[in-house]
């Protein structure tokens, strides 16, 4: 069985991947056909798969996912405002994906990581690199329509909102992560 | 020029609202279970009516009437 803090964190990741899948699935259904629709559909598929990886990982560790009623993304609209077009959605996505990969890298660096968690993080982080890549490329492709400077300012605004959400939402997450680190270090000392 | 009633109809269809629910004063966040649906609605309206909206332009939008005004004023 895994520690309560680890179970909560893995369940939080699972919940966030589910939120991402639902969001990108809805968008893939709505945006017009073209390269962005194509990559959004793949992104939707990846996020669904990631939710499955976390579910499987938690089960392999002898637990069951906790049903959490909020995810990181839920706070985004409140902080950044309702995005009005596909460029603004992609700007938020880029900032969010960078946050996710940073968070997963931080988790991966924890001492005494169970091999199941390590393998899941490694698998997901490969996909996350592609997510950042395709969203970046899509934003470049929108420069002629929205303007390079305007896109850069939008990303900047989203990054500021992200910092606000991170501070607010991840208080509990960070607390649990720190507790987990302390617990692992104590175990190593013994 | 975009017909305001066509926008109302699209909003009602998209959100699967019962007839008469998409009134001007209806608060958008009360009509959806999660705010991501509103993001999808905004994209749908742009695709349907061939307009471009922005987050800035939606900042003051709270109700169905506000959204209809925003969309029709973009034509």
Residues 23-52 of B with CB under 8 A from A: 34-40, 42-44, 46-47, 52
**Which class is domain A4-189?**
mainly alpha
| Rounded Cα distance, B44 and B69, in Å | 16
Give the pLDDT confidence of A36-90 residue by residue, as tens digits: 999 999 999 999 999 999 999 999 999 999 998 777 776 777 777 888 999 999 9
| Rounded Cα distance, A117 and A184, in Å | 14
Distances (CA, A) of A124 to A96, A110, A163, A176, B37: 15, 17, 23, 21, 26
Contacts of A153 (CB under 8 A, 6+ apart): none
Residue A89 to residue B39, Cβ atoms within 8 A = yes
* Separation in Å, CA of B51 to nearest CA in chain A: 10
Interface predicted TM-score (ipTM) of this complex, two decimals: 0.80
| Rounded Cα distance, B55 and B63, in Å | 15
How many CB atoms within 10 Å of residue B10? 18
Q: Rounded to 5 degrees, what angle do the CA atoms A32, A35, A36 make?
A: 65
Phi-psi region of A112 (alpha: psi -120 to 50; beta: other; left: phi over 0): left
Residue B39 to residue A83, Cβ atoms within 8 A = yes
Q: Which of A16-20, A22-26, A118-122 has the highest mean pLDDT?
A: A118-122
Helices (H) and strands (E) in chain A, counts: 8, 0
pLDDT (0 to 100) of residue B74: 80
| Rounded Cα distance, A121 and A139, in Å | 27
pLDDT (0 to 100) of residue A170: 65
Residue B36 to residue A82, Cβ atoms within 8 A = no
Averaged pLDDT for residues B12-39:
90
How many CB atoms within 10 Å of residue A15? 22
Least confident of A36-50, A53-67, A129-143, A159-173: A159-173
The 3-state DSSP class for residue A43 equals: helix
Interface mutation target, options A85, A95, A96, A151, chain B, most CBs of B under 10 Å: A85
pLDDT (0 to 100) of residue A2: 81
Closest residue by Cα to residue A14 from A69, A63, A52: A52
Sequence ranges of the domains in chain A: 4-189
Residue A25 scores a pLDDT above 90: yes
Give the pLDDT confidence of B11-24 residue by residue, as tens digits: 999 999 988 899 99
pLDDT (0 to 100) of residue B23: 96
Residue A179 scores a pLDDT above 90: no
Averaged pLDDT for residues A100-107:
89
Residue A166 scores a pLDDT above 70: yes
Q: Which residues of A touch B (CB under 8 A)?
A: 19, 22-23, 26-27, 29-32, 73-74, 77-78, 80-86, 88-89, 154
């Amino acid at each position: 069985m895994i520690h309560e803090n680890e179970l909560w964190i893995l369940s939080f990741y699972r919940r966030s991947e589910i939120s991402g899948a639902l969001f990108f699935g809805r968008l893939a259904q709505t945006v017009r056909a073209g390269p962005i629709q194509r990559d959004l559909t793949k992104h939707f598929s990846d996020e669904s798969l990631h939710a499955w990886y976390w579910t499987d990982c938690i089960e392999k560790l002898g637990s069951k996912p906790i049903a959490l009623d909020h995810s990181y993304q839920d706070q985004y609209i409140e902080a950044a405002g309702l995005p009005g077009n596909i460029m603004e959605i992609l700007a938020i996505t880029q900032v969010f994906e960078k946050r996710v990969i940073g968070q997963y890298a931080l988790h991966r660096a924890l001492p005494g990581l169970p091999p199941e968690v390590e393998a899941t993080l490694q698998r997901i982080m490969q996909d996350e690199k592609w997510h950042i890549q395709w969203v970046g490329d899509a934003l470049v492709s929108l420069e002629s329509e929205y303007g390079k400077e305007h896109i850069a300012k939008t990303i900047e605004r989203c990054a500021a909102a992200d910092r606000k959400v991170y501070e607010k939402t991840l208080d509990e997450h960070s607390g649990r992560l720190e507790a987990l680190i302390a617990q692992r270090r104590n175990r190593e000392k013994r | 020029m975009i017909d305001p009633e066509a926008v109302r109809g699209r909003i009602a269809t998209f959100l699967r609202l019962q007839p008469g629910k998409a009134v001007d004063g209806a608060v958008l966040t009360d009509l959806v279970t999660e705010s991501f649906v509103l993001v999808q609605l905004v994209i749908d309206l742009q695709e349907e009516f061939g307009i471009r909206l922005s987050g800035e332009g939606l900042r003051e939008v709270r109700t169905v009437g506000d959204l209809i005004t925003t969309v029709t004023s973009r034509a």
